[in-house]
Amino acid sequence: MWQPTERPIMADRRRLERFLRSKLREAGEQYEQLRESTDGQLEEAREAYEVAKNARGLPSDEEDRAKIVCRRYAERRAAMLDDQFRPACYEAGHPDCEGCAEDVREGRIETWE
């Protein structure tokens, strides 16, 4: 005659608990990765918005060129900005031009009216 024992039931219960713990841990890790990813994307979007807002807030002429003071030649210029908000006169690698582009993005560029 068959007699129930607690041993197989307890082993199954422990195995089930380990399985559930591991799955919950995996779900928690996936959630954390997703959260970190979306936090990073949100921060990038905020930075892009700030840069665009700063660049669009610059005074401009009738042809929609930004009125900036060139750091390289220390003169007033009206320059179109490219899709990365760099003036048309921008020269990659030149320290003054790099600083000018950074100032445009940060909203610190010297302007004129």
Q: What are phi and psi of 47, to 5 degrees?
A: -65, -45
Within-domain flag for 64: yes
60 beta partners: 66
State the chain's mean pLDDT as an integer: 91
Rounded CA-CA distance 72/89 in Å is 10
Q: The tokens 């995996």 sit on which residue? A: 26
Domain that holds residue 86: 57-106
> What SS3 class is residue 110?
coil
Could you tell me the pTM of the whole model?
0.64
Residue 52 lies in a domain: no
- Report yes or no on 11 lying in a domain: no
According to the model, what pLDDT value does residue 1 have? 56
Has residue 30 been placed in a domain?
no
Q: Distance between the two ends of the chain, CA-based, in angstroms? A: 101
pLDDT digits 0-9 by tens, 70-108: 999 999 999 999 999 999 999 999 999 999 999 999 999
Judge whether 99 lies within some domain: yes
Q: Is the model's pLDDT at 6 over the cut of 60?
A: no
81 within some domain: yes
Residue 79 domain flag:
yes
Number of structural domains, the chain?
1
